[in-house]
Amino acid sequence: GAVVSQHPSRVICKSGTSVKIECRSLDFQATTMFWYRQFPKQSLMLMATSNEGSKATYEQGVEKDKFLINHASLTLSTLTVTSAHPEDSSFYICSAPGWARRTEAFFGQGTRLTVV
């Protein structure tokens, strides 16, 4: 089946630095990628939708300048957390839609970000 690979799985960074998270579709082309944030023991919150060749669409309340999303190619989308602060610590998950409308999505393994 389709595979989405997300790296790194864990990252610890200092406050004020930036962290890049990569999400790759390994055996298919993903023109769209969803980025989620998950707080402990809570559901997934959609942050933004990246689209290859155009600007990302951000959900209300998500800071575009803090969470930079780039969909560089049909197989790669990146999320950069800029000037990270401890409150940005969270579990971030990317997801690519299925082959057709109304089908399941494919998820990356997730990235545990800890800002110290």
Partner 1 sequence: GDSVTQMEGPVTLSEEAFLTINCTYTATGYPSLFWYVQYPGEGLQLLLKATKADDKGSNKGFEATYRKETTSFHLEKGSVQVSDSAVYFCALTGGGADGLTFGKGTHLIIQP
Q: Which residues bind partner 1 (CB under 8 A)?
A: 6, 9, 32, 34, 41-44, 46, 49, 93, 95, 97, 101-105, 107-110, 112
Q: Least Å distance between CB 28 and partner 1?
A: 15
Dist. CA 18–CA 86, nearest whole Å:
12
Place of tokens 């023109």: 31
What letter represents residue 46's amino acid?
A: L
Q: Which is nearer to partner 1, 35 or 75 (CB)?
A: 35
Dist. CA 30–CA 9, nearest whole Å:
21
CB-based contact 11:19 (threshold 8 Å): yes
Q: Least Å distance between CB 35 and partner 1?
A: 10
Q: Which is nearer to partner 1, 14 or 41 (CB)?
A: 41
Dist. CA 28–CA 83, nearest whole Å:
33
Whether the bond into 8 is cis, omega within 30 of 0: yes
Q: Which is nearer to partner 1, 46 or 76 (CB)?
A: 46
Q: Least Å distance between CB 107 and partner 1?
A: 4
Q: Least Å distance between CB 64 and partner 1?
A: 18
Encoding tokens for residue 10? 């864990």
